[in-house]
Amino acid sequence: MTGTDRKLVVCGAGGFIGGHLVKYLKDRGFAAIRAVDIKPVQDWYQTTPGVENLVLDLSEKEACYQALDGMDVVYQLAADMGGMGFIENNKALCMLSVLVNTHLLVAARDKGVKRFFYASSACVYNGEKQKDPNVTALKEEDAYPALPEDGYGWEKLFSERMCRHFEEDFGITTRVARFHNVYGPLGTFDGGREKAPAAICRKVIEAKLSGKHEIEIWGTGNQTRSFMYIDDCTVGIQSILDSDIQEPINLGSSELVTINQLVDIAEEIAGIKLQRRYNLNAPKGVNGRNSDNTKIRQYLDWEPSIRLKDGLRRTYEWIESQMLLR
Ligand code: NAD
C-alpha cells in the first residue's frame, strides 16, 4: 500500500516537525490524516485545514489505541524534548517518552498498522566519538557499543530497538530515522526548549531590537554541528517511510559549522556585528557532531541539501516577525 488513500496518523503533530509534516502530507494529496498531540490545539505551532486534530496523552495506552484506530501508517514524533538546555536538565522526563513509544508500538501491533515511522536522534551516538570538534561524521554503526546522550539518547536507542524487535517478532514494518538538529520556522525559539539555530536567531534579533550589541554563546563557540532545514526533514521522513531501509538511518545535513559560524550567518542576515560572551558553564552538548550520509545516498540517491544560510534566513525572518508582534 503506497498510495494517497492510506490513512495516516502523525503523533506529536502539535510540535515543530509534526506540524510541518502534516502540512507536507496534506500538500502531497493524502486525504485521511489524523494529527495527535497532548497540547491543546490552540498551542500547536500550526494546524492544517482538512485534518482531524485530536488532543490525547499518548503515554496512556488507551489513548494510543484511540489514536491508531483505523490507521494504516503511524509517524511517531511525540516526545518530551528540547535543546541541550532542556535535555541535560530533564533526563527523567526525556526517558518517560518511552511510555509513548511502547504504548504506540503495542497499539500498532494490535490495530494492524502497516507501517510505523519512528523519529530517533543523533543523540543515540556514542559520546566517545563526539569529543573532537574536528569530527569524523557519524556513521550508523557508531551507535554501538552504546554510550548515548544520558537520558534522552538512551530512551531513543531503546525505542529504536523496540521498533526493530516489533518488526522481527510481530511483523510490523518499522522505519527509523536519526534526525540531526532540525530547524526552521514555526517552532520553539524561547522558553528553554529551543535549539541552537532558533536560540541564536532570537538572541541576534534581541540585540538588534534593543541596540545592545552583545550575545551570549553557550560553550566555546568552537563546537561543531550540522543543521537540517525542516523541508529536507519532511521529504526525508516520507522517503524513508516508503523505502525498504530496515536499519536506523541518519537524516541530517552534512554541512558542518561551528557555533561561531552559525552566529556569523545570523549576524550577516541581521546586518550587525555583536560582542560575543562565552558562557562555559552553560549546557553545550558534545564537542562535535556531523551526519555521515553515505547510506542515505546509497539507499535513496538523495540527501538533505538546503544550505544553512538559506534555511537560517527563513527561520530568522519568521522569528523576527513573531518577536515584532509582541
Ligand atoms: P516538539 O517538542 O516541537 O514536538 C514534540 C511534540 O510531542 C510536542 O508538541 C509535544 O506536545 C508532543 N508530546 C509530548 N508528549 C506527548 C504525549 N504524551 N502525548 C502526545 N503528544 C506528546 O519537537 P520536534 O522538534 O518537533 O521533534 C519531533 C521528534 O523528532 C521528537 O521525537 C524528537 O525527539 C525528534 N528529534 C528532533 C530533533 C530536532 O532537531 N528538532 C532532533 C532529533 C530528534
Cα of 81 to ligand 1 centre, how many Å? 6
Atom number of ligand 1 nearest to Cα 76? 32
Atom number of ligand 1 nearest to Cα 122? 43
Q: pLDDT of 188-213, one tens digit each?
A: 999 988 999 999 999 999 999 999 99
Structure confidence at residue 135 (pLDDT):
80
Say how far apart CA 208 and CA 312 lie, in whole Å: 17
Structure confidence at residue 241 (pLDDT):
98
Pairing outcome for strands 214-218 and 275-279: parallel
Spatial CA neighbour of 158 closest among 233, 37, 80, 248: 248
Q: 11 with 75: CB under 8 angstroms?
A: yes
- Cell numbers that stand for 176 in this block: 527509523
226 lines ligand 1 (CB under 6 A): no
Contacts of 175 (CB under 8 A, 6+ apart): 115, 116, 117, 118, 163, 240, 241, 243, 245
Structure confidence at residue 131 (pLDDT):
86
Cα of 12 to ligand 1 centre, how many Å? 6
Spatial CA neighbour of 278 closest among 207, 224, 217: 217
Cα of 31 to ligand 1 centre, how many Å? 24
Percent of the chain with pLDDT over 90: 91
Atom number of ligand 1 nearest to Cα 100? 18
**Could you write out the DSSP letters of every residue in 26-75?**
HHTT---EEEEESS-GGGSS---TT-EEEE--TTSHHHHHHHHTT-SEEE
Mean residue pLDDT of the chain comes to 96
Under DSSP, is residue 120 helix (H, G, I), strand (E, B) or coil?
strand
**pLDDT of residue 136 exceeding 90:** no
Instruction: Find out whether the peptide bond into 145 is cis, omega within 30 degrees of 0.
Output: yes
**Domains of the chain in sequence order:** 8-183+228-251 (3.40.50.720), 196-225+256-289+307-324 (3.90.25.10)
Of the listed ranges 153-162, 228-237, 277-286, the one predicted with least confidence: 277-286
**Burial class of residue 131, CB neighbours in 10 A (0-12, 13-18, 19+):** exposed
Q: Does an H or E element contain 217, and which?
A: strand 214-218
Say how far apart CA 213 and CA 277 lie, in whole Å: 11
Model confidence at 1, pLDDT cuts 50, 70, 90, reads low
- According to DSSP, residue 151 is labeled T
Per-range mean pLDDT, top range of 7-21, 128-142, 271-285? 7-21
- Cell numbers that stand for 248 in this block: 536506523
Q: Which residues are catalytic?
A: 152
Say how far apart CA 81 and CA 90 lie, in whole Å: 9
Mutation test residue for ligand 1: of 118, 154, 159, 179, the one with most atoms within 8 Å of CB: 179
**pLDDT of residue 2 exceeding 80:** no
Cα of 77 to ligand 1 centre, how many Å? 5
84 lines ligand 1 (CB under 6 A): no
* Threshold 0.95, pTM exceeds: yes
Cα of 78 to ligand 1 centre, how many Å? 4
Torsions phi, psi of 8, nearest 5? -115, 140
Percent of the chain with pLDDT over 70: 99
Mutation test residue for ligand 1: of 17, 103, 226, the one with most atoms within 8 Å of CB: 17
**pLDDT of residue 284 exceeding 80:** no
